[in-house]
Amino acid sequence: MLHILFVLSFLFCLSHAAVQDFCVANLKAPEGPAGYSCKKPKIVTVDDFVFSGLGMAGNTSNIIKAAVTPAFAAQFPGVNGLGLSMARLDLAPGGVVPMHTHPGASEVLVVVQGSITAGFISSANTVYLKTLKKGDIMVFPQGLLHFQINARGIPAVVFVSFSSSSPGLQILDFALFGNNLPSALVEKTTFLDDAQVKKLKAVLGGSG
Amino acid sequence: MLHILFVLSFLFCLSHAAVQDFCVANLKAPEGPAGYSCKKPKIVTVDDFVFSGLGMAGNTSNIIKAAVTPAFAAQFPGVNGLGLSMARLDLAPGGVVPMHTHPGASEVLVVVQGSITAGFISSANTVYLKTLKKGDIMVFPQGLLHFQINARGIPAVVFVSFSSSSPGLQILDFALFGNNLPSALVEKTTFLDDAQVKKLKAVLGGSG
Amino acid sequence: MLHILFVLSFLFCLSHAAVQDFCVANLKAPEGPAGYSCKKPKIVTVDDFVFSGLGMAGNTSNIIKAAVTPAFAAQFPGVNGLGLSMARLDLAPGGVVPMHTHPGASEVLVVVQGSITAGFISSANTVYLKTLKKGDIMVFPQGLLHFQINARGIPAVVFVSFSSSSPGLQILDFALFGNNLPSALVEKTTFLDDAQVKKLKAVLGGSG
Amino acid sequence: MLHILFVLSFLFCLSHAAVQDFCVANLKAPEGPAGYSCKKPKIVTVDDFVFSGLGMAGNTSNIIKAAVTPAFAAQFPGVNGLGLSMARLDLAPGGVVPMHTHPGASEVLVVVQGSITAGFISSANTVYLKTLKKGDIMVFPQGLLHFQINARGIPAVVFVSFSSSSPGLQILDFALFGNNLPSALVEKTTFLDDAQVKKLKAVLGGSG
Amino acid sequence: MLHILFVLSFLFCLSHAAVQDFCVANLKAPEGPAGYSCKKPKIVTVDDFVFSGLGMAGNTSNIIKAAVTPAFAAQFPGVNGLGLSMARLDLAPGGVVPMHTHPGASEVLVVVQGSITAGFISSANTVYLKTLKKGDIMVFPQGLLHFQINARGIPAVVFVSFSSSSPGLQILDFALFGNNLPSALVEKTTFLDDAQVKKLKAVLGGSG
Amino acid sequence: MLHILFVLSFLFCLSHAAVQDFCVANLKAPEGPAGYSCKKPKIVTVDDFVFSGLGMAGNTSNIIKAAVTPAFAAQFPGVNGLGLSMARLDLAPGGVVPMHTHPGASEVLVVVQGSITAGFISSANTVYLKTLKKGDIMVFPQGLLHFQINARGIPAVVFVSFSSSSPGLQILDFALFGNNLPSALVEKTTFLDDAQVKKLKAVLGGSG
């Protein structure tokens, strides 16, 4: 019978499956530059590879009339180390996902409901801008400023994929106005007027 | 004014934008291990970053009642070198995407219509199997055998993302029965019976 | 004297040697996406970098008349993180290494005794098939189905190298017939007949 | 004599030196995702690996009283494919390198004259801010917004290194106000007031 | 208000910031092939990203009249996993950084004081040699033998950057003469005379 | 029939097979940092993936009584971009592969005939030394000085694998004594005596 080969392959495969097939994140163990530590393969189940958190609309009752629901390694441990992750965007009529970057990944999105206008700006300072209809996909190269806005009077639903299990998200307004970066430094490094900076810091809970 | 810095940054950025921000595939130029050569940035437009080919259902009038529509670098040049790509799966009632692998990428899918049952098998020979409803996402680690089948009596639509701009697709039945690999070798390396191999070679157009 | 530079370099090198020169696997510590944790350099010896387990023939007294003996990171901790590993194939007369893939690595083999016929199938569904004599080497690109069979009436010995310290091994027959994947799903996703599936599940210890 | 080995090694090394030791950029040949094509090794000289363009101060007679002089692959072909590059920052008294990101690389700088205040903002929206004196070094993780300003009444000179041969540079004000991105979109995606946007577009030559 | 999005993004970003923005080395936790484990983001401060150890001259009162002061991940935890690091070279008149390699990184240096002669030798056995003045930069491809010597009668200061946070340093003379590698093996593998080997082993504290 | 899916998958797979499954080197087309350009898949045959040049012993009639026969991408185009390659070492009685490094790859070897003594030296200046018998394997981490010598009175045959398709080879004696690096610089950077340097330059054809 095949048992000798069977046992052989079964044993050595089990022993390093976590390293080579997958590495479901153990969010309590040490992290490294490549991602989270792996759960022991023997306690991994199919539910580690399935995530239902993108199934319902995010709450768009906010001034941007939009919501971003992430399925990164921190929310969806099954993608840890596999070089991809997802998120869901909900944009109510008039909704906007503000100017932002993903420092660690490129992004591709697909519009599954409604219509959006999306754009990004390159290092060469060229603007790439397009209105997308249901079924269209658009790619946003790594680390570049980009945004999405609802382009019609109906709610839009967009699924986004990333080239990293932890792409990160830096929302420009939070970075400039939602923390303790002194207003004087914001003004000096962005050329924005003091009144403008103070006004947005007040809205976004920034100090200094 | 900022012109000195402006000109400076504008010039050097333009000069290497293709290398660093993006590398839209020039399908006619030489390819390398990392992907296709890049189109000159000055002829790149937003339409290189947008693809509408996934907006319509693939033709499921075939015996698997399913269709796979790819948006890999070869179809969607904007993803070249960015470490991701997409595809659309359409599964009519009873439809199946047969057992297959992507040799070069991990995959994550999102169900946007209907319901599917999906599964993959690990190197440790464990089966990870789940029925997914609309909005569920599931990840399939790189290179492992996996499949999707329609789980309800209505058409299912699934968007798939990959961790490479050229993930490849090896469909088990085509690999075994759809080419000129001699039946004797198929049988010797798979333990399938001669009649079974001959039968499927006939269906799939294999010879030998 | 050189002692100042000597001590300097000695100290800082020791302190991060594990990170940069090598990372001998500590199979008991947490694993991450990039591999196993490292043993402390001070307890690493030359024996961590040497493995004798490929020196003797594997047991080919099984129905495939073949044996695969791995020297992956799980068996040979010294290769952890170095991007390579090895294995030994023994093929008795009539022996076959069945159709399989390595999800995480490309493979190159060298025939050191006897003769084998080896082949792989590409994503483009082309078959690359060759009979190899002693001293010939052949490369198998990552993730593609491939096999090796004894091509003469004498035992064959083959050494195999991989481009990862944990390449994984997915043997087609085990994946389809050696686990609890329901027969109905195997049949639906492979188009194999029920009798064929049941027959091989019986041989390979599969259930369902 | 060693000639047989000598000739052997000499030949095969020459034949692939460009691929493996270095790949000096040929700025006229096709580019790929990994960088520029390589000059033929036989025409490469030491001057391809040396760059003198950072030896003189950049022109700081501009409203930011600062200059950025890059030595990326496009200016310094010797770094192509080697995973690093450099730049020089000159900051006159009152000078500022405005808020910007490098989409493709992390950055480390060393202050060689004067003193600067530098900071970056993380995805978690934490501000990391420090005043640096001559000889201090500071690292800025990939893709995050950061800036540098002169911290004393004397000119500052800073050398910057990157973890890519083409790190890119996206200066926030140019991205928002120095191109044809419509003011309405800038306002909608940044919450800046119309007057503020129009004012900066006027300064930075933006339209729309 | 933006609070819903604000809280959302704040939470998930914090939760994986270490993985994706940065991974400040925790020198006491397990190491992996990709680097050291990460400190918890909440205890990371700006001082983790700043290093002052390169601000003062290294001690050149030694027979090579030179000093190498590293700022690798082991000394400067903030660079861990970011793909870069630095070092400072001080060369008194007559000083020399002896022939050495960095097994894990390419190097680029900038001369900030004095003048040096630097060179490297390629796999094709070509010598690339240049005398560099203040402000010149030179790149040394990964893993190749190279050296730097003071080229004038005044002290030289050089800042060096690497394409890895742990580039390693193998100084030829220490490797050959500063350890317990038996003299007979040194002689057999380098063709150096016994007297020469013994003489340098005596200087460098080697045994055997 | 499956033809619709069949044709679909066949077409798009063919179109990017070179990028994703393999990239057989076209030695006449431009090279990039990731390797050689790819031959068009339609002209690739199985012979591109098979190499017979390691089947015969290298010529060991030289003063080192050894020969190195490479199967790198430049000799064996099929490995281009796949992250591995091979070489054959022949060591006659008394033969030695002199101290050398591979700047671009780690190495694992298997002894298939005779016995050798092999060793490497780490950045921490530790010597790892072992005598290997037939069937033993040993790994040498990337970029570190290492050597192999015949350990018995019979010819030894060793197959070597690398973690890169172009690992490079820098033989210490050629680098120091086989080129035009001035003797004065060799002496200053290695502390070798003038007579020793001149003697070996004479043997190895060095000038200066």
Q: Quick: pLDDT tens for E18-37.
A: 346 999 999 999 999 999 99
D and C in touch (3+ CB pairs within 8 angstroms): no
Name all domains of chain C by residue range, CATH numbers in brackets: 60-167 (2.60.120.10), 169-208 (no CATH)
Q: With 60 as the cut, is the pLDDT of residue F156 above it?
A: yes
The pLDDT assigned to B208 comes to: 86
Would the CB atoms of F127 and E99 count as touching at under 8 Å?
no
Average pLDDT value for residue range C169-174: 96
The band of C7, judged by pLDDT with boundaries at 50, 70 and 90, is very low
Q: Answer whether E159 sits within 8 Å of D112, measured CB to CB.
A: yes
E33 to chain F, any CB pair closer than 8 A? The answer is no
CA distance D30 to D111: 37
pLDDT of residue E18: 37
Residue B107, marked binder: yes
Instruction: Answer yes or no: do D204 and B2 touch at CB < 8 A.
Output: yes
Contacts of A99 (CB under 8 A, 6+ apart): A145, A146, A147, A171, A172, A173, D176, D189, D190
Is the CB of residue A86 less than 8 Å from the CB of residue A163? no
Residues of D in contact with B39 (CB under 8 A): none
Tell me which chains share at least 3 CB pairs under 8 Å with chain F.
B, C, D, E
- pLDDT-derived band at E134, boundaries 50, 70, 90: very high
pLDDT of residue D13: 36
| Alpha-carbon gap: F5 to the closest alpha carbon of chain B (Å) | 6
D and B touch with 3+ CB pairs <8 Å, answer yes
B8 shares contact with chain A (CB less than 8 Å): no
Residues of chain B found within 8 Å of residue F13, distances taken between Cβ atoms: 168-169
Residue B157 has pLDDT above 70, yes or no: yes
Q: What pLDDT, in 10s, does the model give residues B167-195?
A: 999 999 999 999 999 999 999 999 999 99
Question: What does the pLDDT look like over A185-202, one tens digit per residue?
Answer: 999 999 999 999 999 999
pLDDT in tens, A87-140: 999 999 999 999 999 999 999 999 999 999 999 999 999 999 999 999 999 999
Which pLDDT value is given to residue C10?
Answer: 40
> B28 is written with which tokens?
């006619």
Please state the rounded mean pLDDT for residues E110-114. 98
Q: Residues B105, B167: contact at Cβ < 8 Å?
A: yes
Give me the percent of chain C exceeding a pLDDT of 70: 90
Which member of D32, D103, D178 has the closest CB to residue B35? D32
* Confidence check: pLDDT of C190 > 50: yes
The answer to whether C5 faces chain F, any CB pair under 8 Å, is no
Q: Between chains, do C67 and A5 touch, taking CB under 8 Å as contact?
A: yes
Q: How much is the pLDDT for B19?
A: 45
Query: Can you list the positions of beta strands (E) in chain C?
Result: 31-32, 35-36, 50-51, 66-71, 85-91, 96-101, 107-113, 116-121, 127-132, 137-140, 146-150, 156-162, 170-171
Residues 54-83 of chain D with CB under 8 A from chain A are none
For residue C12, pLDDT over 80 is answered with no
CA distance F135 to chain D (A): 26
Contact E33 C29 (CB under 8 A): no
| Bridge-based pairing state of the strands D66-71 and D85-91 | antiparallel
What's the pLDDT tens digit per position in A44-81? 999 999 999 999 999 999 989 999 999 999 999 999 99
pLDDT tens column, F160-197: 999 999 999 999 999 999 999 999 999 999 999 999 99
Any chains having at least 3 CB pairs less than 8 A from chain A are B, C, D, E
Of residues E119, E122, E173, nearest to F190 (C-beta): E173
Tell me if there are at least 3 CB pairs under 8 Å linking chains F and A.
no
Q: Binding site membership of E: which residues?
A: 100, 102, 107, 146
Structural contact between residues A51 and A71, judged by C-beta atoms closer than 8 angstroms: yes
pLDDT digits over A5-49, tens only?
444 444 333 333 334 699 999 999 999 999 999 999 999 999 999
Q: Give one DSSP letter per residue of D51-109, joined into a string.
A: E-TTSS-----STT-EEEEEESTTT-GGGTTTT-EEEEEEE-TT-EEEEEE-TT--EEE
Single-letter amino acid, residue E51 = F
Q: Is F188 part of the contact surface with chain E (CB cutoff 8 Å)?
A: yes
Q: What would the pLDDT profile of C129-139 be if each residue is shown by its tens digit?
A: 999 999 999 99
Out of C103, C147, C181, closest to residue B127 by CB: C181
Measured distance CA(B172)–CA(C144) in Å, rounded: 10
ipTM field: 0.92
Q: E203 to chain C: which residues are within 8 Å by CB?
A: 1-2
Share of chain F above pLDDT 90, in %: 89
Q: Distance (Å, rounded) from C-alpha C177 to C-alpha C173? A: 6
- For residue D193, give the nearest of A178, A179, A196 by CB distance: A196
Say yes or no to pLDDT of B7 above 60.
no
Asked if E124 lies within 8 A of D21 by C-beta distance, the reply is: yes
> Given its phi and psi angles, is residue F135 left (phi above 0), alpha (psi -120 to 50 degrees) or beta?
left
Closest residue by Cα to residue A160 from A131, A127, A138:
A138
pLDDT of amino acid E10: 40
- pLDDT per position as a tens digit, B63-118: 899 999 999 999 999 999 999 999 999 999 999 999 999 999 999 999 999 999 99
pLDDT of residue C9: 44
- The answer to whether the CB atoms of A34 and E38 lie below 8 A apart is no
A129 interfaces chain B, CB cutoff of 8 Å: yes
Chain mean pLDDT for chain E: 91
Residue E41 has pLDDT above 70, yes or no: yes
Does residue C8 carry a pLDDT above 70? no
- Greatest Cα pair distance, chain B, in angstroms, is 81
Q: Do B82 and A132 touch (CB under 8 A)?
A: no
Closest partner CB to C98 (pick from B96, B99, B189): B189
Confidence of residue B147 (pLDDT cuts 50, 70, 90): very high
Structure tokens at B139: 């990840």
Q: Which residues of C74-104 are buried (b: 16+ CB within 10 A; e: fewer)?
A: bbbbbbbbbbbbbbbbbbbeebbbbbbbbbb
Looking at residue B9, its pLDDT comes to 44
**Which residues of chain D carry a pLDDT beneath 50?**
1-19
CA distance linking residue A157 with residue A144, whole number of Å = 22
**Confidence band for C97, pLDDT divided at 50, 70 and 90:** very high
Q: Which residue has the higher pLDDT, E11 or E174?
A: E174
The pLDDT of residue D208: 87
Distance (Å, rounded) from C-alpha C154 to C-alpha C114? 6
